[in-house]
Amino acid sequence: MSLADQVLAVNDDLPIRTDKPVHSGKVRSVYWLTEADSRRLIEEKGYNVQPDAPLAIMVISDRISAFDCIWHGEGGLKGVPGKGAALNAISNHWFKLFRDNGLADSHILDIPHPFVWIVQKAKPVMVEAICRQYITGSMWRAYSKGERDFCGIELPEGLEKDQKLPNLLMTPSTKGILKGIPGVPEVDDVNVTRTDLENNYDKFNFRSANDIDHYERLLKEGFSVISAELEKLDQIFVDTKFEFGYVTDASGQEKLIYMDEVGTPDSSRIWDGAAYRNGKIIENSKEDFRQVLLNHFPDPDILLNKDRMEERFALARDNELPEDVLMQVSKVYTGIAEKITGKQIVLSKNPKDEIINILRNKYDLIK
């Protein structure tokens, strides 16, 4: 069996019973279940949701995206072995820890397979909830150009690259294109201030202005829980992105929950503690792959300049990365997952067949 066979690259073609189009993102695909199947599963499995709550099957893939492009490798390698299972395992671990610490629930109701979540439909808060403990990445780039106001927060003079910040900073940005918010451009992923959120809470899908305090508390507490656990492993939680949404539980109570994924190498920067103390940055996150790409191509400006998107898409489409590049990424993802969860990431021989068999035999969801 070739390595390419063990990679789940295409995840939007599973014969899951659905009466809506499959939504396929960069990494995950979402299959909305029929109303009948949703009701049946809620009753059979006793999920803590309303009897008529829409449910979906969310299937992760091993695809790797960076700089808004999907990358592939030699030998038909259309993704990174072990990446999907590693991402799900890490998220599952943190979501459970959040519940155990009394923080909030997540959108996940069931985990049939390492690649699969059964989730409930949530009304998303239209905020990329970003938390930063160190100055690096886009914040450092802005700071080094003289900017001191970041999402309405005044940064002190004299900070150095990769330094720990005096306080944990919450630097939100828009999730999707939001219209009619004074001073906020109508483009995806632009920085906003807390004042923007307060003055336009309904446009960001918050139920009330008070829920901004609630989201900030969950963001801080979630960051703190992950940071403390990673510290035990001598890993540094540098920055991360959380997403939130509203659901209604079986008792009819509406609540704010964590959505998407949390504390993964795709949504966070994680640094090796020992290396950092020695003045080196060793990334246990996707940032490592981004740096590899910047070093791999002779004109890195294509990857950094949003005015060159056509060239960038062509670069990703027309270039097979060396197999050892993708295997190094695999090592980073599976390595940090095994460190965090204490369990080995085992590559499936044929992930697609496994998923179909489980969803057929245990959930009766295959056409």
> What is the predicted pLDDT for the residue at 1?
64
Among 205, 239, 264, identify where a domain stops: 264
Would residue 367 count as lying in a domain? no
Indicate if 81 and 178 belong to the same structural domain.
no
What mean pLDDT do residues 276-286 have? 96
Instruction: Look up residue 262 and give its two tokens.
Output: 């949390």
CB 86 within 8 A of CB 337: yes
Same domain, 216 and 342: no
Instruction: Give the pLDDT confidence score for residue 206 in this predicted structure.
Output: 98
Q: Closest by alpha carbon to 149, among 182, 191, 185, 197?
A: 191
Region 348-354 average pLDDT:
91
pLDDT band at 188 (very low <50, low <70, confident <90, very high): confident
Average pLDDT over residues 150-166: 95
Q: For the chain, what is the largest distance between any 2 Cα atoms, rounded to a whole number of angstroms?
A: 61
H-run or E-run covering 268 = strand 268-272
Q: Which of these, 220, 179, 332, lies nearest to 270 by C-alpha position?
A: 332
Encode pLDDT of 103-117 as tens digits: 999 999 999 999 999
364 assigned to some structural domain: no
Contacts 24+ apart (CB under 8 A), 282-290: 283/332, 284/235, 284/332, 284/335, 284/336, 285/332, 285/336, 286/64, 286/66, 287/137, 288/328, 288/329, 288/332, 289/64, 289/66, 289/329, 289/332, 290/66, 290/67
Claim to verify: residue 219 and residue 242 sit in the same structural domain = yes
Going by pLDDT thresholds of 50, 70 and 90, the confidence category of residue 2 is confident
Indicate the residue type of 215: Y
Say how many C-beta atoms besides its own lie within 10 A of residue 117's C-beta. 24
Look at residue 20 and tell me if it is in a domain. yes
Confidence of residue 3 (pLDDT cuts 50, 70, 90): confident
Considering the domain architecture, whether residues 115 and 142 belong to the same structural domain is answered as: no
| 231 and 269 both lie in a single domain | no
Domain's final residue, options 241, 264, 287: 264
**What average pLDDT score do residues 345-349 get?**
89
- H helical segments located in 281-362: 286-296, 301-304, 309-318, 323-341, 351-361
Which domain does 135 fall in, by range?
123-264
Q: Are residues 84 and 128 in the same domain?
A: no
- Does 17 share its domain with 115? yes
User: pLDDT tens for residues 311-344?
Assistant: 999 999 999 999 999 999 999 999 999 999 999 9
Percent pLDDT > 90 in the chain is 95
- Whether 136 and 259 map to the same domain: the answer is yes
The domain that holds 99 is classified in CATH as 3.30.200.20
C-alpha neighbours within 13 Å on the C-beta side of residue 99: 11
In a domain, 366, yes or no: no
Asked whether residue 199 is assigned to any structural domain, the reply reads yes
Q: Identify whether 336 is part of a domain.
A: yes
**Whether 42 contacts 49, CB under 8 Å:** yes
CB 72 within 8 A of CB 19: no
For residues 185-214, give the mean pLDDT.
95
**Are residues 74 and 16 part of one domain?**
yes
Query: Is 196 within the bounds of a domain?
Result: yes
> Helix (H, G, I), strand (E, B), or coil: what is residue 105?
coil
Task: Say if residue 44 is in the same domain as residue 147.
Answer: no
Whole-prediction pTM: 0.95
What pLDDT, on the 0 to 100 scale, is given for residue 234? 98
* Domain at 236, CATH number: 3.30.470.20
| Predicted confidence band of residue 222 (pLDDT cuts 50, 70, 90) | very high
What is the number of domains present in the chain?
Answer: 2
pLDDT confidence of residue 5: 82
* pLDDT, mean over the chain: 95
- Running DSSP on this structure, what letter comes out for residue 163? P
pLDDT confidence of residue 355: 97
CA separation (Å) from 172 to 77, 112, 178, 240? 35, 33, 14, 11
Domain-embedded: residue 193: yes
Specify the pLDDT at position 349: 87
Q: Return the pLDDT at 295.
A: 94
Q: Are residues 205 and 216 in the same domain?
A: yes
Task: Provide the pLDDT for residue 138.
Answer: 86
According to DSSP, residue 63 is labeled -
Q: Where a domain ends, among 264, 293, 324?
A: 264
Q: Do 18 and 72 belong together in one domain?
A: yes
